[in-house]
Amino acid sequence: MTGGSLRLSAPSFWTWIMIAACVMLGVLLFWPILSVFIISFEDADTGRFTLENYIQIFTRRYYVSALTNTLIVGVAGMLGACLLGVPLAFCMSRFQLRGRTLISTMAVLTLVSPPFIGAYAWIMLLGNNGAITNALGAIGIDIPSIYGMAGIILIFSLKFFPFIYLMTENALNGINKSLEDAAENLGCSGWRRFRKVTLPLVFPAVSTGAIISFVLSIADFGTPAIIGRGVRTLSTIAYTQYTSEMGGTPTMAVTISMVMIAISMLALLIQRRMLAKRRYASSMTHKRQRAPLHGARSVLVHGVSYGIALAGMVPAFVVIWTSFLATNGPVFSGGFGLDSYRRIMAEAPDAVMNSFIFALCAVALIAVVSSLLSFIVVRRESFISGLLDLILMVPYLVPGVVMAIGFVTTFNSGWYNLVGTATMIILIVFIRRLPYGVRSTSSVLRQVKPSIEEAAIALGASPAKTFLKITVPLIMPGIIVGSLMSFITAINELSSTLIVYTASTVTMPVKIYLSVVDGEFGVAAALSTVLTVSTGLCVFLVFRLSEDREANFV
């Protein structure tokens, strides 16, 4: 009844918006992906059709090892994240912990901080010249190297566990207590009950979180680039190939990109398949009481929970601490000082400015477009609106490196030549983060009764005017939260910007990456602190503005 309600009354306005939305997604999303797809079948020199690029990827050692490395870090990062996220979720949902809000806030902060900051923060602690390495070295203990595979997996586990924690906790809280009681009553208790009853019930949530971690792990560029040393992954070699093929046709870079998209899609499909077989109707829940904690058990549970949450926050503490260390050039000269901040004021004011300007432009676009798109998705029941909903999943699956290569190979000539412009950076961030905006606005719009809009129409307001005067004010909370969420991800964007930036369009994440590569840890720390603080501020605002706090972040 409600769905197609405005179909007749609004043939022109919303039909135009729908057409515009399709054109926009076609140009900014499908065209780049399609051109990447086509180029991957071209011979670099002759431009003829060939399968040679794919054959190389699956036969040449350089590529095969990157492919295996990618899969290994993806799977291991995902498992590591589960090992941290599931116990934390269990402790949080089953026991009376002190400082619950603190723990979940730390988890969210971990979630929103970019992984490359984690990578170099851990280097500063456990690297060859790291604080902990040196301290332990002084008392004669050698710790294994943080560089390479182990480091990447450590960073991914610590970075992505909050996805799993937040989703699993939500699911655990939703389990009907009677189910577990019934199991206990039937003689199944303790660990066995957890394995046989509880775990299967939260499996959909855990697996969704796990897939997100996997997709983000294989797409991440900064971490393997900073801490990987010899370990190459698909995203780092895509970047290297792209820079080395610069000028010519980037056939190998785009072929790698296609393989990355394929892996992400495959992961999503596998997860869907697994979920399809397990569908549990959840009934009205009989909420469980959280168990009180005493004695050794209390110490253990608190220790585990705070340990996990704090481990995720270590990078933030490290960069903030480091940013206030006195430096002399790239060397820390002992004691505290504001040298690093002075240096970024002198050397990288444009990086700071650019970051904010680009992010704000992208967010403004996202706010406008996502409110229009969510109206189409929520209010107009048609084939196309269903399709739009599905299409908006695509940006989640396309790694940033791939999106950027797609843009560069598409918008590179004639009047639509955007190579090297700020516009390109803004558009890439816009299209990649649009789904966040649409998701949060449409969830608010679903709560607004369509009859309120119909009342305005019946009173003579045109569809466009109804949208502006009635719908927009009512979904404003969703638009604001969506904008904050997209701002957080926009300002931290590294992987795509690194491909398309020029001297005049440097951003903070790019500058941080370059500084780390150059060993300028002080500058990197000061910039990271600026990023972390702006991100934290947005998180604070989302918490203030939204009732369902943590749910906004997963």
Partner 1 sequence: MADVHLKRVRKSYGNVMALSEINIEIPTGTFFTLLGPSGCGKTTLLRAIAGFHTHDSGEIVVNGTDIGKLPAHRRNVGMVFQDYAIFPHVTVRENVAFGLKERKVPRAEITRRVDDILEKVQLAAYADRMPHALSGGQQQRVGLARALVVQPTLLLMDEPLSNLDAKLRVDLRRELRAVQQSMDMTTVYVTHDQEEALAMSDTVCVMYGGVIQQAAAPWEIYHSPANRFVAAFVGSNNFIPLVNGTIAGVPVPLAPGIPGNGAELALRPENLQIVTGTPPEGMVTLPATLDQVAFTGREVSVALHLENGQEVQAICAPDPALLGLPRGARTQLAFDPSRAQVFESGVTGRRLS
Name the residue among 175, 207, 206, 211 with its Cα closest to residue 193: 175
| Near partner 1 in 92-121, by CB under 8 A | none
Nearer to partner 1, 342 or 465 (CB): 465
**Helices 349-379, 422-445: inter-axial angle, 10-degree rounding:** 40
Q: Identify the residue whose tokens are 């701002």.
A: 487
Residue selected from 6, 82, 308, 391 as contacting partner 1 according to rule CB under 8 A: 6
Torsion-angle region of 148 (φ positive above 0: left; ψ -120 to 50: alpha; else: beta): left
Q: How far apart are CA 158 and CA 106, in angstroms?
A: 12
* Pick from 130, 51, 111, 41: nearest CA to 552: 111
Would you say 13 or 37 has its CB closer to partner 1?
Answer: 13
From 2-10, 27-35, 321-329, 546-554, give the range in contact with partner 1 by CB under 8 A: 2-10
Query: φ, ψ for residue 43 (rounded to 5)?
Result: -80, 135
Q: Which stretch binds partner 1 (CB under 8 A): 5-13, 27-35, 43-51, 395-403?
A: 5-13
Q: What is the C-alpha R_g of the chain?
A: 25
Positive or negative: CA dihedral 69, 70, 71, 73: positive
Closer CB to partner 1, residue 1 or residue 346?
1
Instruction: Output 300 or 452, the one with its CB closest to partner 1.
Output: 452
- In three-state secondary structure terms, 331 is strand
Q: How far apart (Å, rounded) are the C-alpha atoms in residues 219 and 206?
A: 20
Out of 7, 100, 288, 549, which residue is the one contacting partner 1 (CB under 8 A)? 7
* Residue whose CB is less far from partner 1, 287 or 449: 449
Closest contact distance (angstroms) between CB of 15 and partner 1 is 12
CB of 21 to partner 1, least distance (A): 21
Q: How far is the CB of 476 from partner 1 (least distance, A)?
A: 9
Residue whose CB is less far from partner 1, 343 or 379: 379
Please identify, among the stretches 8-16, 112-120, 155-163, 368-376, the one whose residues bind partner 1 according to the rule CB under 8 A.
8-16
Q: Which residue, 8 or 346, has its beta carbon nearer to partner 1?
A: 8
Q: DSSP character for 394?
A: H
- Using the rule CB under 8 A, is 4 a contact of partner 1? yes
Tell me how far, at minimum, the Cβ of 508 lies from partner 1, in Å. 37
Number of residues interacting with partner 1: please give it, by CB under 8 A. 27
Residues 6+ apart with CB under 8 A from 24: 369
**Residue 31 CB-density burial (10 A; 0-12 exposed, 13-18 middle, 19+ buried):** middle
Smallest distance from partner 1 to CB 475, Å: 11
For the stretch 257-291, what's the b/e string if a residue is b when 16 or more beta carbons lie within 10 angstroms of its beta carbon? bbbbbebbeebbeebeeeeeeeeeeeeeeeebeee
| H and E: helices and strands count for the chain | 27, 2
Q: Judged by CB under 8 A, does residue 227 bind partner 1? A: no
CB of 8 to partner 1, least distance (A): 4
CB of 6 to partner 1, least distance (A): 7
- Closest to partner 1 by CB, 357 vs 457, is 457
Give the nearer residue to partner 1 in terms of CB position, either 1 or 281: 1
CB of 391 to partner 1, least distance (A): 25
Q: How far is the CB of 18 from partner 1 (least distance, A)?
A: 16
Considering only residues 305 to 324 of the shown chain, the ones binding partner 1 according to CB under 8 A are none
For partner 1, the closer of residues 172 and 470 by Cβ is: 470
Q: Interface mask (CB under 8 A) for partner 1, residues 127-166, using x and -? A: ----------------------------------------
CB 340 within 8 A of CB 523: yes
Mark the segment that binds partner 1 (CB under 8 A) among 14-22, 417-425, 444-452, 532-540: 444-452
378 binds partner 1 (CB under 8 A): no
Q: How far apart (Å, rounded) are the C-alpha atoms in residues 74 and 403?
A: 19
Q: Where are the alpha helices (DSSP H) in 380-462?
A: 383-391, 394-397, 400-410, 422-445, 450-458
| Helix (H) or strand (E) segment spanning residue 336 | strand 331-336
285 token code pair = 């829940």
Nearest-angstrom CA–CA distance, 181 and 178: 5
- Least distance in angstroms from the C-beta of 56 to partner 1: 52
Q: Which two tokens stand for residue 297?
A: 């058990």
Q: Is 386 in the site for partner 1 (CB under 8 A)?
A: no
| Residues between 447 and 486 that touch partner 1 (CB under 8 A) | 449, 451-452, 454-463, 465-466, 470, 473-474
CB of 379 to partner 1, least distance (A): 12
Residue 3 Cβ vs partner 1, minimum distance, rounded to whole Å: 10
Q: Examine residue 9 and tell whether it contacts partner 1 (CB under 8 A).
A: yes
Q: Does 517 participate in binding partner 1 (rule CB under 8 A)?
A: no
Q: Which is nearer to partner 1, 461 or 514 (CB)?
A: 461
- The smaller minimum CB distance to partner 1, of residues 417 and 447, is found at 447
**Spatial CA neighbour of 395 closest among 343, 439, 355:** 439
Nearer of residues 338 and 545 to partner 1, judged by Cβ: 545
When the beta carbons of 384 and 448 are compared against partner 1, the nearer one is: 448
Q: Report in angstroms how near the CB of residue 457 gets to partner 1 at its nearest.
A: 5
Distance (Å, whole) CA 172 – CA 149: 32
Residue 190: both structure tokens together = 């303790």
- Asked if 5 is part of the footprint of partner 1 (rule: CB under 8 A), the reply reads yes
Helix segments in 278-414, DSSP class H: 295-323, 339-347, 349-379, 383-391, 394-397, 400-410
CA distance 522 to 278: 50
- The residue ranges that bind partner 1 (CB under 8 A) are 1, 4-11, 449, 451-452, 454-463, 465-466, 470, 473-474
